[in-house]
Amino acid sequence: MLSQVCCSILCPKVSRAKLFSGIIAVFCTLAVATEIAAAAAKLGIDESSMNKTVTPGNDFWEFSNGTWLAKTEIPADKSRWGAGGILAEETNLRLIALIQELAKNRAPATPAARMVADYYNAFMDEAGIEGKGLLPLQPALQQIAAITDKEALARVLGGSIRADVDALNNTDFYTENVFGLWVVQGFGDPKHYTPYLLQGGLGLPDRAYYLTKDDRMEGIRTKYQAYITTILRLAGLTEPEARAARIFALERQIAESHATREDSEDVLKANNPWSRADFDQKAPGMDWSAFFKAAGLEGQTMFTIWQPGAVVGESGLVASVPLADWKDFLVFHTLNHFAGVLPKVFLDANFAFFGTVLAGTPQQQARPKRALESANAVIGDLVGQVYVAKYFPAASKAKVQTMVANLLKAFDQRITKLDWMAPSTKEQARAKLKTLYVGIGYPDHWKDFSGLVLDPADALGNLRRAEEFTYRQNLAKLGQAVDPSEWCMVAQTVNAVNMPLQNALDFPAAILQPPFFDPNASDAANYGGIGATIGHEISHSFDDQGCQFDAQGRLRDWWTPDDLAHFKASSAALAAQYSTYRPFPDLAINGVLNLSENIADLAGLGAALDAYHAATAGTAKPPGQIYTSDQLFFIAYAQSWCGKSREEAERRQILTDGHSPAHYRALTVRNLDDWYAAFAVSPAQKLYLAPAARVRVW
């Protein structure tokens, strides 16, 4: 994603708490977005954001974005802010206004609108939520209280798992349930949906938060344990401190069994087919029959286990850790998971930890924004139908389709011209481009939510039912034929994604807007903006992960040994280049963790420039402009990353996210010869790389 997710450009990882400070902030945000849009309509870049006193070759980030960076404060309800975030904010505000209109209407025009309105109204009913207290959670809490043996524990653990992880598309490795289910085509069987199990069970974002020995992490751990205590006390449990200490100790043991984020990125380490019998033999402790029956997976004979060490470790903990500790663990995680639709004391405690301690965000976003965020997460395709009906012009789709075709042609030519690759390998690489599905705007078929019961007076029940509905939808796909046009993102997301198994790309409607794309802006800026994003997503088919899948999405080695050795050497050089970047004195970028995204940035930018040159037959300088076309292209690229993060959020990103911080993604330009020519970058300047040190992978 662009973000994070895959391939996502921006960051699909949803931070747990964002906020908004009301009407004034809303108008400020709209003003910023409008300003950017107005600038985009002329050149496609925003000159007022630049700092032209800086030499591009010394600090291209500052040259392109310096004035904006100096004058902009991150809004109090955000952990990061910039081009993508501003556009997302504007999109969200439009959607909220649209949904508020629907919500007032007793008979919205379509079933989708009715369901979105009901979900929104329930979420906004703060008085109703306060009045009910923990009543809506009683069935779940009573089920936990009724656990008297390890078989019953396995039943509750199995019944809790959801389809809430996504290892390769949205790269969402986090679930606080013990495991997460991901349903996609098989590594060896591209025609059928198969079950993958991923590790889970942590409240903190990653094992590194439990195991890294330094003062900062120690401080976070202390505050996390205090947060667990608070939640248990609010729920009326006796001895909350002692219980919290035991819950934390259990999570720490779970963390020790977890794979690192870096290992989770390696599909070869994830390709572990387990038969149903393998669970009993390899991972004793859990009553797997009870677990799978409760999970609705009793009929499955084969699974792919992404992190087998965690399955073995967590199953062992089911046997070795006292039942009472597991029950407390389940109570805490149930309360934590639903905190957003519980009374305010739970919500505020949750934000104070996940929003402020973990992401540095001072203020919670306004309730309408949280209602939308929740709806996007669980009934996203219903919201998407409402959104595109009003906000996605057909003309945008046609123009972006042309750009995609040009980018695919450019990428194909880059492969053809590679001097190090054997013809047989080239043929297989080019075949991947031919079978690629590209979705633009919104899916051909919306996900079907008929049968999901949404009650305008039951926020928690709606969330619970929607999550369970999605889980059942995923179970129903198992064994069925794969739909190659299925989307994994929603139309109202400012992001894009590559699905390596499916060999498919999605470009949601919401990213096809300024400053990324504007039908009235210069071609140079459009290719430097959305063009580089399109190139990024195409390139994921050929990054260190994507290149392991063939044209049908089968995990298969289609490389000659020499080709692979060359590819690995180039990749290693790029990983080394990024590992030299130190956003903080004590924390460098992990160039290995971020390799897929960095390869995609590099190859995507190169392909976008080629496509732009081919499409426009390269006029050096558009009439009346002070910038050459290539300068506009590169500035537009750097400005598409314009933004800033709070320190806590950036540290978290470096540790747990496959994407480098935006500043360093903009520095991809250092590897392109055309950037040196465009800005007359000389060896004495700080960003200069000797030609041999510039990495080219594709």
Q: Name the residue nearer to Zn ion (CB basis): 3 or 645.
A: 3
Distance of closest approach, residue 638 Cβ to Zn ion, in angstroms:
17
| Total residues interacting with Zn ion, rule: CB under 5 A | 5
Nearer to Zn ion, 6 or 161 (CB): 6
Minimum distance between the CB of residue 507 and Zn ion, rounded to whole angstroms?
12
The three-class DSSP label of residue 546 is helix
Smallest distance, Zn ion to C-beta of residue 533, A: 9
**Type and span of the H or E element at 398:** helix 394-417
Q: How far is the CB of 511 from Zn ion (least distance, A)?
A: 13
Please report, as residue ranges, which positions from 326 to 355 form the binding site for Zn ion (by CB under 5 A).
Answer: none
Does 608 bind Zn ion (CB under 5 A)? Our answer is no
Shortest distance (Å) from residue 17 CB to Zn ion: 24
Q: How far is the CB of 33 from Zn ion (least distance, A)?
A: 24
Residues of this chain, 89-128, that bind Zn ion according to CB under 5 A: none
Q: Least separation, in Å, of the C-beta of 364 and Zn ion?
A: 29
Residue 595 near Zn ion by CB under 5 A: no
Closest listed residue to residue 534, CA positions, set 596, 608, 597, 431: 608
* Alpha-carbon span 214 to 290, nearest angstrom: 40
Measure the CA–CA gap between 257 and 311, rounded to whole angstroms.
Answer: 8
And the tokens for 452?
């999901």
Choice from 7, 124, 167, 538 touching Zn ion (CB under 5 A) = 7
Query: Which of 381, 597 has the CB closer to Zn ion?
Result: 597
Cis peptide before 423 (omega within 30 of 0): no
Of 44-52, 110-118, 466-474, 591-599, the window that binds Zn ion (rule: CB under 5 A) is: 591-599
Cα–Cα distance measured from residue 498 to residue 12, given in angstroms and rounded to the nearest whole number: 13
Residue span binding Zn ion (CB under 5 A) among the ranges 66-74, 374-382, 565-573, 595-603: 595-603
DSSP secondary structure letter of residue 47? G
List 499's β-bridge partners, or say none.
504
Nearer to Zn ion, 294 or 534 (CB): 534
Cβ neighbors of 107 (< 8 A, separation 6 or more) are: 114
Give the range of 93-101, 273-281, 590-598, 686-694 binding Zn ion by CB under 5 A.
Answer: 590-598
Burial of 519 (0-12, 13-18, 19+ CB in 10 A): middle
- 1 part of the interface to Zn ion, by CB under 5 A: yes
Is the CB of 359 or the CB of 497 nearer to Zn ion? Answer: 497
14 neighbors 375 (Cβ within 8 angstroms): no
Stretch that binds Zn ion, among 1-9, 159-167, 507-515, 610-618 (CB under 5 A): 1-9
Stretch in the footprint of Zn ion (CB under 5 A) among 3-11, 258-266, 371-379, 622-630 = 3-11
Q: How far is the CB of 654 from Zn ion (least distance, A)?
A: 16
Instruction: Output the smallest distance, CB 536 to Zn ion, in A.
Output: 6
CB of 220 or CB of 440, closer to Zn ion: 440
Its sign, for the CA torsion 448, 450, 455, 458, is: negative
Taking the least distance from each CB to Zn ion, the nearer of 265 and 597 is 597
Nearer to Zn ion, 175 or 594 (CB): 594
Convert 2-30 to b/e letters by CB count within 10 Å (16 or more is b): bbbbbbbbbbbbebbbbbbbeeebbeebe
> What is the smallest separation between the CB atom of 11 and Zn ion, expressed in angstroms?
10
Q: Tell me the residue nearest to Zn ion as measured from the CB.
A: 7
State in angstroms the smallest separation of the CB of 537 from Zn ion.
7
Rounded to whole angstroms, how far apart are CA atoms 551 and 437?
A: 11
Residues 633/527, Cβ–Cβ less than 8 Å: yes
Taking the least distance from each CB to Zn ion, the nearer of 441 and 658 is 658
Q: Which is nearer to Zn ion, 7 or 137 (CB)?
A: 7
Distance of CA 377 to the CA centre of its chain: 12
Residue 183 or 600: the one with the smaller Cβ distance to Zn ion is 600
Q: Please, what is the minimum distance in Å from the beta carbon of residue 495 to Zn ion?
A: 9
Percentages (nearest 5) of helix, strand, coil residues in the chain: 55, 5, 35
Nearer to Zn ion, 264 or 374 (CB): 264
Nearer to Zn ion, 132 or 540 (CB): 540
Neighbours of 60 (CB within 10 A): 26
Phi-psi group of 206: left, alpha or beta (phi > 0 → left; psi -120 to 50 → alpha; rest → beta) = beta
Task: Give the angle 268-270-274 at the CA atoms, nearest 5°.
Answer: 120
| Residue 6 lies near Zn ion (rule: CB under 5 A) | yes
**Cα dist from 448 to 108, 306, 434, 445, whole Å:** 18, 28, 30, 9
Min dist CB 299 to Zn ion, Å, is: 35
H-type alpha helices, 441-560? 459-477, 523-526, 532-539
Q: What is the 3-state secondary structure (H, E, C) of 399-454?
A: HHHHHHHHHHHHHHHHHHHCCCCCHHHHHHHHHHHHHCEEEEECCCCCCCCCCCCC
> Judged by CB under 5 A, does residue 510 bind Zn ion?
no
Binding site for Zn ion (CB under 5 A): 1, 6-7, 597, 600
